[in-house]
Amino acid sequence: MDQEIYTQMRAVEDAHWWFNGRKRIVAQMIESLHLPKDARLLDAGCGTGGNLQLLARYGSVKGLEFDENAIRLARTRGVGEIMQAAFPDKIPLSGETFDLVVLLDVLEHIEEDVATLRALGGLLDPEGRLLLTVPAFPFLWCKHDDLHHHKRRYTARTLTQAIEAAGLKVQYLSYFNMWLFPMVAAVRVVQKWFPPKDCDGELTVPPRFANTFLEWLFGSERFFLGRVKLPFGVSLLAVVQKGEQR
């Protein structure tokens, strides 16, 4: 992503409803996995480190990130060890395994998504899990995807295909951010016909009441995820485990 986007992200990710709503969902999913005490966790593509403190609740954390500016910003949080990496081939963790690898809105940035999933699957302990999120539905593609250098948006079918092609097994997969989907879809469709004149991708926190309400609404989906599969949403979430050895 562009350097300015990382700077904007670091400035708002501790307060913005979307980041905090997703943290609520991720926390609920992690707790449902019943990780061992003092678990080993890896934040693959940790960006500016917005999820490190959350992950540190469950054990020791390491982070991988490609961008040097993002690494610098992540290290200012003082949580875990942050290392530079490039997926799928340059991962400085030879011989290490983890109880949980998280890949939160990262896979869509990577050209070689199957090879990346395969490489991260190789870092899992035999009973370990990979928790990932990605943006959903190609028809929702907009200027935001271009600005953030996305390669693709997924459907449940295409994400499952990528996971299985990597030799991994889907334990659970569901759409999420369902409550806001109708509004987001309507706006994206309208923008395809009437592109906005100004769309610089700036990340800003809405007014306090709106921000609090949207965080609550988005985060409330954690009570369903892991128990049922939501039929649609702006994003997808999957829990993945090692495939059966052949």
Model confidence at 127: pLDDT above 50: yes
Question: Looking at residue 167, which CATH number applies to its domain?
Answer: 3.40.50.150
The confidence score (pLDDT) of residue 98 equals 98
Looking up tokens 């009973």 gives 127
Tell me the average pLDDT of the chain.
Answer: 93
For the residues 167-182, what does the mean pLDDT come to?
97
Q: Which of 85-99, 182-196, 226-240 has the lowest mean pLDDT?
A: 182-196
- Torsion sign over Cα 200, 143, 107, 113: negative
Q: In this predicted model, what pLDDT tens digit does every residue of 142-156 receive, in sequence order?
A: 888 988 899 999 999
Residue 10's pLDDT band, with cuts at 50, 70 and 90, is: confident
What is the percentage of the chain residues whose pLDDT exceeds 90?
81
Total domains present in the chain: 1
Residue 189 has pLDDT above 80, yes or no: yes
Name the least confident of 4-13, 21-30, 215-224.
4-13
**Rounded percentage of the chain residues whose pLDDT exceeds 70:** 95
pLDDT at position 198 over 60: no
Instruction: Identify the band that residue 246 occupies on the pLDDT scale cut at 50, 70 and 90.
Output: very low
Chain centroid to Cα 26, Å, comes to 9
- For residue 212, is pLDDT > 80? yes
* Bond prior to 88 in cis (omega within 30° of 0): yes
pLDDT digits (tens, 9 = 90+) for 11-28: 888 999 999 999 999 999
**Phi, psi for residue 100 in degrees, rounded to 5:** -145, 130
Domain extent for 115: 3-242
